[in-house]
Amino acid sequence: MRVNAKWMVGMVVVILLATVPLMLEGYAFRPLFSIAWYKLIHIVGGVLFIGNIVVTGVWMDMARRTNDPRVVSFATVMVDWLDLIFTGPGVFLILVSGIVLATPWGGVLGASWITAAVALFVFSGIVWVVFLLPSQRRLIRLAQEAVASGSALSREYHDLLGKWFLWGAAATLSPLGSLVLMITKPTLW
């Protein structure tokens, strides 16, 4: 397992350790900061998270257009590291602050718009863990093999990248839907 994958797994464990007890206590805790600070933390987490996932797709497309295995190899490795540096911390900040911010609304299951926004966020995470991360690992390996052999990027690379873009669009649009729900707060059911 790559070093950054180990860090990502560690961050997921920390996120679970930090958020599950809050949910299990039925929100019967006293927040450490004012609600304004939690809103700021939530917004910063959202900027880190959504900013990185949008830029990642653009960066991978720009690298693909060069058709240069060295550029593509560099881009795929950087996407992997930037997930660790920006996406992971963004998720952590969103989850921890979101749980506190949902408390006045009856918790995560209290208001329909919060429940739907969380479902979209979780869907994005599942797509990321199940499809995108493993695909990124294969894309890195295929790009590095092309660099090492001095050959062009393989058909397998391009096919996999196409699937990565498709799943990446799903993983990007769902948190954008979450963002819309968080801002508009509609009654859905």
Any idea which residue has 């019967």 for tokens? 28
Measured at the CA of 152, the angle between CA 146 and CA 157, to 5 degrees, comes to: 70
Mean local confidence (pLDDT), 152-180 = 96
For 50, residues 6+ apart whose C-beta sits below 8 A from its C-beta are 90, 172, 175, 176, 179
pLDDT tens-digit series, residues 19-57: 555 555 555 556 777 889 999 999 999 999 999 999 999
- 7 pLDDT above the threshold of 90: no
pTM: 0.81
Query: Given pLDDT bands bounded at 50, 70 and 90, which one contains residue 79?
Result: very high
pLDDT tens-digit series, residues 120-138: 999 999 999 899 999 999 9
DSSP code for 31 = -
What pLDDT does residue 1 have?
A: 55
